[in-house]
Amino acid sequence: MKNSSNTRGSDENIEVVKLSHVCWMDVRGKFKISELSPGVMYEIVYVVKLTNAAFGWEAPVSLKLSLPADGKVQNRQVSLLEKPRGEWFELCVGNFLTETNNDGSESTAEVFFDFFEHGGHWKSGLIIKAAVLRPKIN
Residue pair 21/68 in contact (Cβ under 8 Å)? The answer is: no
**Domain segments of the chain: what residues?**
17-98+107-135
pLDDT of 59 reads 92
Q: Is 40 helix (H, G, I), strand (E, B) or coil?
A: coil
Instruction: Using the Cα atoms of residue 53, residue 5, residue 47 and residue 116 in order, give the sign of their dihedral.
Output: positive
Quote the pTM value.
Answer: 0.82
Q: Residue 115's CB: how many other CB atoms inside 10 A?
A: 22
pLDDT digits (tens, 9 = 90+) for 11-47: 457 777 777 788 899 999 999 999 999 999 999 999 9
pLDDT digits (tens, 9 = 90+) for 67-93: 987 789 999 999 999 999 999 999 999
Angle (nearest 5°) at CA 126 between 96 and 123: 115
Instruction: For the domain made up of 17-98+107-135, give the CATH fold.
Output: Jelly Rolls (2.60.120)
* DSSP H or E run through 131: strand 124-135
